[in-house]
Structure 1
Amino acid sequence: MALKSLTARVLLLATLWSAAALITIAVVISALYRQGVERGFNNLLRAQLYNVINSVSVSDGNSLAGNPALGDLRFSQPESGWYWLVEPLGSYGAAPLASTSLGMANLPVPGLEEYPFDEHYERFYPMEDASGNRLRVAETEVVLDGEGRAARFRVSGNLEVVEEEISFFSTRLYAALALFGFGGLVVNGLAILYGLKPLDRARRALEKIRGGEAERIEGEFPREIQPLANEINALIDSNRRIVERARMQVGNLAHSLKTPIAVLLNEARTLDKTHGEVVVSQAEAMQGQVTSYLNRARIAAQRDSVLARTDAEPVLERLVRVMRRLNPETEFRLEIAPGLTFAMEQQDVEETVGNLLENAARFAKTMVLLRASHADSAASGTDSGRRHWIEVTVDDDGPGLKPDQIGEALKRGTRLDESKPGTGLGLSIVKEISNEYQGAFGLSRAEIGGLKARLVLPAVTRDTA
């Protein structure tokens, strides 16, 4: 799953790169150190080999004579892996010379095909002695006198010394690199967090705009981020101008149509009953359609604007106070969760909830209950899972509606009870406004016996991720 945090991505990449780099460095340094130790070990064996050569000669009795003193007690300790051995070559019958550590044992001679001599007539090869020691052998052949008598000289060393030296170095190398890697990771993390801090400030500034606490991104940012902040501010200003222009045009259109429609309605009342009713009916339908489409145009202009927001508590309390004054015989209750903010214009909140309260008050016997609370996307019945929602319900204890009457009640201009005043536009307007905001609206049976109107409207999103 892709990481959504930019900081986590950078930290992960920096950690992976540092780990790969440190592992590569450890492997390369260990390999170079091993090569150096092995080369030094070969040089040590070569030096001891030539000390043996310088200490051995052929005596008058055709025997090998000499007592090499290599200055290393390991050549006198049995089965130590440190041996020297001189063997005669040719037809003269001299006995070989060997170090005390070798005793009566012997070292096998590998073939020249497997380990040939180099340009210095030397060769180095691995071997394992009778005690299981892993050896490194240096070998050469030398002519000892003018008569051509020669001998094979060999000196061996125990490779355990090399492995111990390499292990000692590698342990400390890995510990040092691990400490350096951990320290580097901490420093990289602090540097990345410090470097990305302006982005976090920009995010918080955007959250303030979404939350209604600010109208622009304020503050100084690095030159890589400042153009983005400027563009967002310019976009907000442009959006504000578009909204204001749309409001002005909608208002102008409403005023320009209001007078002609009012004239038509007044003139229609002076006509005879048959023709007057037709003109009045059509003028009222025209008035309803004009209002509906003007509302749609206004809502569409500011639906996704970050500037559209209304605190729920004061608006709903004001609507309830008005309804109480208009309907003193009906009890109005308000239950509202704290901290609710509609992502809508105040006018749209008042029109939707006000219509529901008016409709409930018209049919309620004694009580109307208004509730407002948070709702998730699943409860809202929408597909916008990343948005926040507010659920508003209006319950009354009136007669309610049958299931087959609910669909008719939501049609524009439909009045199920002609004895009650009204135009039949209220519920349809609520439905249209909720649809424009991508919300939901429905009717059902209320727990207190009458009709329940459930309205889901967008809330201000406060992202913290």
Structure 2
Amino acid sequence: MIKSLRVRLMLAGATLAVLFMLGLLPALQSAFSLALREAIEQRLASDVTTLISAARVENGQLQMPALLPDEQFNLPDSRLLGYIYNRQGELVWRSRATTEAHINYTPRYDGKGNEFTHFREPGGEEYFVYDVEVKLLGGQSAAFSIVALQPVREYKLTVTGLREKLYLGFGAALLALLVLLWIGMTWGLRALRQLSLELDDIESGALESLSESHPRELLRLTGSLNRLLRSEREQRGRYRDSLGDLAHSLKTPLAVLQGVSETIAQRPENIEQARILQSQIERMSQQIGYQLQRASLRKSGLVRHQVELRPLLDSLCNTLDKVYRDKRVKVTLNVPVLAQVPMEQGALLEMLGNLLENAYRLCLGEVKVSLVLHEQGGGEICIEDDGPGVPHSQRARILKRGERLDRQNPGQGIGLAVVKDIIESYDAQLTLDDSVLGGAAFHVRLRPA
């Protein structure tokens, strides 16, 4: 299927042009052929008039001069033939050019006056014939059929030559028309090209809305897109404000419950109940944080982001080096300096933060981060460690919300679930494999932007 609008329009225009020319060509040939036949008829009628004006009747006998006013009748090799027949159909005169021609023509003396037709000789030669019946010559009564003939082959050669010229001319005209169509469509589609460029700028964040300097046929489309963009921005803003308000409104009740649990814990008999209460408060806090992150880090529908990966990794590793300074983790970054990832910065920071924090926490002393870019777009981020790894039977389970293999450190097991939600919102894929370092290897396969 052809996906280019310009090519589709070009093919449609070329098809219509070819069909039009194919329909016009026979019409032109027919018109030219008819005009040529009319010209031959007029020429033969004029030649017959020349014969009539030169003919004389003396004592009932036809007299013709030795040289006629039209020199074509006087030349032996002329293609113009002249004959005169009496009423009985007997040949009484012939022009010099007919001495080598053997034409078996019988005039039709039927009172019609004149007739233009053509006939075929038994040998295959065809002639145009103009036959005029004459009853008076020089004021005297006469009954003759004066005939002028011309071979049809010249007419056919002329028509064939015209057809060839028409084919060449129409081919050149079609080629010129296609070039003009391509130029015209390129010019006409500049508006769509400009619209596409503006959409690219919107996706990259350089513009917030489409301009109004487009043809009126596109203004409705650009207006709808601008309304969609405004609606999306307003909705995302309201969503974030609502999430912030929710987090703020829940902060105070959770703090009160935390204080109550600490008061309860002061009594020895209530230590167990206080521990359960504090555990549930912590779980509520983490779940609220998880839901806030999950809702706020969704991919934007129209805006396309490109974020440099190396600066984010440097910042995260510096922070985690301070948190896990006792481990002295060796980090290897196989990431090009200017490599970009098609994700929003906040989502990318949250995803990498969770994956790197897991790698730092579970590794023995070495973490490796690499990026492989694909030629068709997108790429693959791999975060590896030299820790205990993840058994095959447990890999699907730990990606579920609330599931953890590490029970020695606090937490509710929502970090990888947040990572999975972010990755799925960008149509990417998260897989877990064994690392060459000996631990786990998390692969994030990103689709082209």
Query: In which range does the TM-score fall when normalised by the shorter chain?
Result: 0.7 to 0.9
Deviation at 1:131, TM superposition (A): 6.7
C-alpha deviations, 1:249-301, integer Å up to 9, x for none? 1111112223323433443353524433433343344334333333333245x
- 1:318 equivalent among 304, 315, 340: 315
For 1:335 and 1:374, locate their aligned partners in 2 and report how far apart those are by CA, in whole Å: 12
- Which digits, 9 at most, give the CA deviation of each residue in 1:311-354, with x for residues without a partner? 4332222112222333341101122243413333x332222211
Contact 1:265/1:280 (8 A) holds in 2: yes
In the other structure, the counterpart of 1:384 is: none
Whole-Å separation in 2 of the counterparts to 1:48 and 1:367: 111
Q: What TM-score does the superposition give when structure 1 sets the normalisation length?
A: 0.81
Q: Which amino acid aligns with 2:132?
A: T
Would the aligned equivalents of 2:73 and 2:96 in 1 still touch at CA under 8 Å?
no
Name 2:340's counterpart in structure 1: 340
Residue 365 of structure 1: SS of its match in structure 2?
coil
Give secondary structure in 1 for the equivalent of 2:403.
Answer: coil
Cα distance between partner residues in 1 of 2:241 and 2:218: 35
Q: What is the CA–CA distance in structure 1 between the aligned matches of 2:30 and 2:423, rounded to whole Å?
A: 72
- Aligned-pair CA distance for 1:357: 0.9
Structure 1: distance between partners of 2:411 and 2:167: 85
Q: Is the 8 A contact 2:129 2:149 kept in 1?
A: yes
- 8 Å Cα contact 1:362-1:420 kept in structure 2: no
SS in 2 for 1:96: strand
2 CA distance for matches of 1:165 and 1:190? 37
Change (3 A) 1:402 1:221: same
Name the aligned partner's letter for residue 311 of structure 2: P
1:172, distance to aligned residue in structure 2 (A)? 5.2
Q: Is the contact made by 1:296 and 1:436 (CA closer than 8 Å) also made in structure 2?
A: no
TM-score computed with the length of structure 2 as normaliser: 0.83
Q: How many Å apart are 1:59 and its aligned residue? A: 4.7
2:153 is matched with which residue: 156, 160, 166? 160
User: What residue is the counterpart of 2:85 in the other structure?
Assistant: 87
Q: 1:186 to 1:161 in 2, by over 3 A?
A: same
Asked if structure 2 preserves the Cα contact closer than 8 Å seen for 1:42 and 1:138, the reply is: yes
What is aligned with 1:383?
none
Work out the CA distance in 1 between the residues paired with 2:25 and 2:80. Answer: 31
The percentage of counterpart residues that share the same residue type is 24
8 Å contact kept, 2:47–2:70: no
Alignment of 1:65-464 (within 5 A): 65-67=63-65, 69=68, 71-73=70-72, 76-77=75-76, 81-90=79-88, 96-103=92-99, 106-109=102-105, 121-129=113-121, 132-143=124-135, 150-167=143-160, 175=168, 177-218=170-211, 220-269=213-262, 270-271=264-265, 272-300=270-298, 303-306=300-303, 310-328=307-325, 329-337=328-336, 338-344=338-344, 346-374=345-373, 389-457=378-446, 461=449
Mapped pair 1:46 → 2:45: yes
3-state SS of paired residue (1:449)? coil
RMSD: 3.5
Residue of structure 2 equivalent to 1:380: none
| Alignment partners' CA distance in 2, 1:217 and 1:290 | 37
Change beyond 3 A, Cα 1:48–1:408 = closer
Maintained 8 Å contact 1:340/1:373: no
Q: Larger deviation: 174-183 or 82-91?
A: 174-183
Residue pair 1:122, 1:140 contacting (<8 A) in 2 also? yes
Aligned mates of 1:239, 1:205 — CA distance in 2:
17
Letter in 1 for 2:93: L
Q: 1:64 touches 1:95 (CA, 8 Å); kept in 2?
A: no
Q: Tell me, in whole angstroms, the C-alpha distance in 1 between the residues paired with 2:47 and 2:107.
A: 23
Q: CA deviation at 1:409?
A: 2.2
CA distance in 1, matches of 2:198, 2:220: 15
| Secondary structure, aligned partner of 1:101 | helix
Instruction: State the distance in 2 between where 1:26 and 1:86 align.
Output: 41
* Aligned partner letter, 1:212: G
Any idea what the Cα deviations from partners look like across 1:114-161, whole Å, max 9, x if unmatched?
Answer: xx97x9522222234477543111123333589976333321012233
Query: d(CA) in 1 for partners of 2:150 and 2:354?
Result: 101
Alpha-carbon deviation of 1:49? 1.9
Q: Is the contact between residue 104 and residue 121 of structure 2 (CA under 8 Å) also seen in structure 1?
A: no
Residues 5, 414 of structure 1: CA spacing in aligned structure 2 closer, same or farther, 3 A cutoff? closer
Change (3 A) 1:132 1:401: same
- Partner secondary structure for residue 97 of structure 2: coil
**8 Å contact kept, 1:343–1:458:** no
Report the counterpart of residue 27 of structure 2 in structure 1. Answer: 28
Matched letter for residue 151 of structure 1 = F
Contact 1:342 1:390 in 2 (8 A): no
What are the superposed Cα offsets for residues 23-80 of structure 1, whole Å, 9 maximum, x if unpaired?
A: 54444333322211210101111122233234345553x65432472523466435x5
Number of equivalences: 439
Call closer, same or farther: CA 1:366–1:297 in 2, change over 3 Å. closer
Q: Which consecutive unaligned segments of at least 5 residues does structure 1 have?
A: 378-387
Residues of 1 paired with 2:87 and 2:365: CA distance?
128
Write the letter of the residue equivalent to 1:351. E
Q: Aligned partners of 1:54, 1:307: CA distance in 2, in Å? A: 94
Label 1:415 to 1:232 Cα distance change in 2 as closer, same or farther (>3 A).
Answer: closer
The offset of 1:305, in angstroms, is: 4.4
Give distance in 2, aligned partners of 1:74 and 1:343. 94
